[in-house]
Every structure is written in C-alpha cells, then in structure tokens.
Structure 1
Amino acid sequence: MNNKSIGKTLGRAAGFFVIMSLITGVIYTGVCLGVGQLFFPFQANGSIIDVDADGDGTADARYATLLGQQFEDQDHLWGRPTNYNLSTFTDDEGNPIAWAGPSNKTPADEEFEELVAKRVEAIRAAHPEKGDKPIPSDLVTVSGSGLDPEISPAAAEYQVERLAKNTGKSASEIRSIIEACTEQPQLGILGEPRVNVLKVNLMLDGVLS
C-alpha cells in the first residue's frame, strides 16, 4: 500500500469517526434530552419534589422520588433497607460523597442471616398487632440498587395499623393515601404494582396532596 492509499484510508477513517461522533455524541444525545424534557420533564430532571413545610412560599426541603430515603419513626411508612455508604469517597474539599449499591451478601452467609434476623425483630417490635404473620421480604432485604424508593402494596398494607395508631388518621385514610401513591405495571404488564414511600410520607405529613 503506497502513501496515497494510506492517506486515503486514514482520511476515510477520520471522517467516519467524526460523523459517528456527531451522530452518537451530539444528535442522539440531543434527541434523547429533547424528548425527555418535552414529554417527561419531571422524570428527566430527577423527579424532584420541593416541599414548603412552613407555608411561606419558599421550598424548605427537596426530595427525589426516585431515591430510597430511610424512615424509621413510627408515624411514617418504612421503605426497603438502604445501603448508603459515606465512608469510601470524598470530594475535593474532603466532604463525603454518598453512594449506594447492593450489599453483595449471599443468603447462604451467616452475616446475611443475622442481619435479616435483626430487621425482622425490629419490624415485629414495631408491629405487635401482626403477631407471627409473615413479613413481606422487601421490608427486610436491600434491593439491587441499594436505594429502591418503592415497596410492594403488601409491605405497605403490613404497616397500616401502626400508621393509623401514630398519625391519628383512620386505617381507611391511610389506605387511600397508599392507593394514591401506588403505581401500576407499565402498559399493564411490565413490572409489579409498587408504592412510592416518599410520596406516602409527604401526604401523611400534609405537605403533598
């Protein structure tokens, strides 16, 4: 192959690289961004909820409905256990960077068994009226992401009596809130019904309708 052929080949390769970079890095990204902002702006921007707790017209807190947040008090719905990590990474100023992921503990591991047993004990202690009724597994196990924001309707129903006792709301009011925060399978067939824990708790607090 002579120098002319090599130059021609390199030119074509460089041109192909530029074209594909524009298609995949600019055009494709721009189309996805545009479609997201046009049709799904809430989800595309992080599914953020601004809460004005004191009613002064300004947001006092921001919540992401796509991230699991730990609730442990008696007057809130409890979600799946989360797997936050604040000790591994820091930013340029030394501040901890939060991240989460699966625990990678196998059910055959004694440590996993002990951890789940402690969670079961805590759940039973908070729900004595349930007796020995089986606890939905998503209340005592971490999800694959470590930050699952949703639980099954069965896991939400398990907590209704506790919430009614501690919030002053009736069991039917609690169930109505849970139903309002329940998402059905996409297209009716993809996935399972699921309850967004954060939305339920904001509605219980009266800051979300």
Structure 2
Amino acid sequence: MKNNLIKGIRMTVVLVVLFTVIYPLSVWAVAQLAPNNGKGEIVSYKQTKGYANIGQSFTKDEYFWGRPSAVDYNAAGSGASNKGASNEEYLAVVQGRIDTFLLKNPSVKKSEIPVDLVTASGSGLDPNISVASAKIQIARIQKARNIDPEKLNTLIDANTEQPLLGMFGPAKINVLKLNIALDQLK
C-alpha cells in the first residue's frame, strides 16, 4: 500500500508540473510565433481599435450583418446559449432573428437565409460569415448606400478568405474587415 501511495503522490506532482507549468509555457511560446504575439489581430479605423478575431455587432441597414452572439459579443464571457435545437425559447429567438432579417431584406425568401445569419456560434464571438451570407445582404446595402451591386460583389470577392490549403474549412468573410472596406468605397 505504501508503494501505491508514493507512486500516486509522484504521479500527482508530475501532472501538476506538466499541466500548470510546462503546458501553459508551451502554448505561450507557440503564440509568440503568431502575428501580434498571439494577442489577436488589432484593427484601427476612425480612431477606434477593435479585434478582427472577435465578432462585432452591426445592425444598421448600410452594413453587412455578422453572426448573432449568444453572449452579446462579450469576449470575457464566451459561450453558447446551451439550448437544444428543439427548445421553445431558442426557437423563438431564432424565429425573431429570421423575422428581423426578412423585414430588412424583403426580397429574400425564408428558405434562402443562410443558417449562420440567424444562429449563434459555439463561442458566441464568431467574426466571420459565409460568402452566401454576405451576398444575400447585397440588395439591402445597395439600397441603403445607393451603390452598384457589382461593386458590392467585387468587395465580397476581394474580402473572401479561402479555406486553409484550399481544403480545410469553408470560405469565409471577416465582417469587420468587410464593413471597413465598405466604408472606404468611393
């Protein structure tokens, strides 16, 4: 029994050192190789700073809307709603988002709305939308800004990030960067 107790204490000490010292230092060291030393991508625009890797709230008609957030875009409290797809409260929230989208985008049919425009991501902070989500908003933005739809299509294409190595993940668009580019259109 004494042997097992000593082995257990040794194993506990080794694991404590591994998971509280070595692992965090390893993650920190790898982050130092990333752009901005792992502190996120800071975007400056009109004397304000924001993080391109954290979702932002855009609700005006003249901007592309991002993915909804279950945590109101609060990076300190990242998380999902934890409600199942059959939860009545959750379904009411999603239906409200659909109704708002259809009200502001009358030329769109309910069946055409991409799912990422009406459901929050697992973190609640997703800064990206799909290409389809951006393109479906063109009519609303064109009307609000009186911009040629072809310019908006070109802007979307220019801001589309392709999958990693052309095969890992979907094509996506960072909403903050897209809206900054939209503001800079002449």
User: Normalised by the size of structure 2, how large is the TM-score?
Assistant: 0.80
State the Cα distance separating 1:200 from its structure 2 match.
0.6
The residue number in structure 2 matching 1:89 is none
Give the number of equivalent residue pairs.
182
Query: Among residues 66, 69, 91, which one is paired with 2:53 in the alignment?
Result: 66
Superposition RMSD in Å: 3.3
Contact 1:182 1:193 survives alignment (8 Å): yes
Query: Among residues 128, 151, 157, which one is paired with 2:135 in the alignment?
Result: 157
Contact 1:50 1:63 survives alignment (8 Å): yes
**Is 1:193 aligned to residue 171 of structure 2?**
yes
- Structure number having the greater helix percentage: 2
Return the alpha-carbon distance in structure 1 between the equivalents of residues 85 and 21 of structure 2.
45
The residue number in structure 2 matching 1:75 is 62
Contact 2:161 2:171 survives alignment (8 Å): yes
Q: How does 1:175-190 map to 2 (within 5 A)?
A: 175-190=153-168
Instruction: Answer with 109-118 or 138-147: which moved more.
Output: 109-118
Identity of aligned residues (%): 36
Contact 2:71 2:80 survives alignment (8 Å): no
Q: How does 1:32-71 map to 2 (within 5 A)?
A: 32-38=27-33, 40-42=34-36, 44-51=38-45, 53=46, 60-71=47-58
Contact 1:84 1:98 survives alignment (8 Å): no
Query: Among residues 126, 130, 144, which one is paired with 2:108 in the alignment?
Result: 130
Q: How does 1:1-20 map to 2 (within 5 A)?
A: none
The residue type equivalent to 1:104 in the other structure is: N
Contact 2:98 2:110 survives alignment (8 Å): no
The residue type equivalent to 2:147 in the other structure is: K
Return the alpha-carbon distance in structure 1 between the equivalents of residues 95 and 78 of structure 2.
22
State the Cα distance separating 1:165 from its structure 2 match.
1.5
Return the alpha-carbon distance in structure 2 between the equivalents of residues 122 and 192 of structure 1.
26
Return the alpha-carbon distance in structure 2 between the equivalents of residues 110 and 32 of structure 1.
40
- Structure number having the greater strand percentage: 1
The residue type equivalent to 1:84 in the other structure is: V
Return the alpha-carbon distance in structure 1 between the equivalents of residues 72 and 58 of structure 2.
17
Which one scores higher on RCO, CA 8 angstroms, separation ≥ 6?
A: 2
Gaps in structure 1 of 5+ consecutive residues: 1-8, 54-59, 87-95
The residue type equivalent to 1:158 in the other structure is: I
